[in-house]
Amino acid sequence: MIVALIIACEVAFWVLLAAGLAFRYVFRMPRLGLALLLCEPLLEVVLFAVTAIDLGHGAEPDWRHGLAAVYIGFTVGLGHSTVKWVDARVAHRFAGGPPPVRPPKYGRARAVHEWKVAGRWTLAAVVAMALLQAAVRHVGGDGETGSLRAWQLRMLWVIGINLVIAGSYTLFPKAAPKAAPKAAPKSEPKSEPKSEPNGGSEREPAKMR
């Protein structure tokens, strides 16, 4: 049941996102579109409530409950940026909005961008770990919590990998390619008109009859 609900929430997320942007930009109904987009957090509330009720009724915690916590955490950490990313492209395509801003490629600007990305992934992992810890405490010391602890360990790996990636761009920034120096235009030697023996300028010879 939990896995089916997670799949349903994921499908509903993209359906609400598509419908909200369609009403906002295609059908020119921004209030209705905004209302649909604001329904997105309700999906996580429903999933959280169902998972808590399932554990409260004595269900043995397993990988499905851990997956639910991870899904909620990643939606909290990455959902808003995903909506903004899609919104910018739909606005540009259908509403004449500005072209989406591409992330920087080189130097300190790229490092700052990578740290922002790492921050969002870290937030997602921390929220997931907090929910997993709440589930562990809810089950108590007598319950089997090994699967929940395993998910917490995976979230630590997620944080570590993102910190390593961001740190690599800080310690070893990617330099912009050097532009090739422009070659100076070659000056052609000025040709002086040839003089005929009589001192006049050269002319086309007359056709012989």
pLDDT tens digits for range 22-78? 999 989 899 999 999 999 999 999 999 999 888 888 788 888 999 999 999 999 999
Q: Which residue has the tokens 């990998």?
A: 161
- pLDDT category at 95 given cuts 50, 70, 90 is confident
State pLDDT tens for residues 11-23.
999 999 999 999 9
Angle at 117 between CA 94 and CA 119, to 5 degrees: 130
Q: State how far the Cα of 16 lies from the Cα of 24, in Å rounded to an integer.
A: 12
Residue 203 scores a pLDDT above 70: no
- Helices 63-94 & 146-171 angle (0-180, nearest 10): 40
How much of the chain exceeds pLDDT 90, in percent? 63
pLDDT at 138: 81
DSSP annotation of 62: -
For 179-200, the pLDDT digits (tens) are 766 665 666 655 555 544 444 4
Beta partners for residue 201, in sequence order: 195
User: Given a cut of 60, is residue 201 above it in pLDDT?
Assistant: no
pLDDT of residue 180: 60
Confirm if 92 and 100 have CB atoms less than 8 A apart: yes
Q: What is the pLDDT of residue 184?
A: 59
* Alpha carbon distances (Å) from 145 to 63, 69, 85, 195: 10, 14, 37, 104
Q: Which of 46, 43, 51, 45 is nearest to 10 (CA)?
A: 43
> According to the model, what pLDDT value does residue 145 have?
83
68 contacts 51 by C-beta, under 8 angstroms: yes
As a whole number of Å, the end-to-end CA separation of the chain is 107
- φ/ψ of 195, rounded to 5, equals -105, 145
Q: CA–CA separation, 39 vs 162, rounded Å? A: 30
Model confidence at 175: pLDDT above 90: no
**Amino acid identity for residue 197 in this structure:** P
pLDDT of residue 69: 94
pLDDT at 204 over 90: no
Whether 205 has a pLDDT exceeding 50, the answer reads no
From the list 81, 45, 51, 53, the residue with the least C-alpha distance to 63 is 51
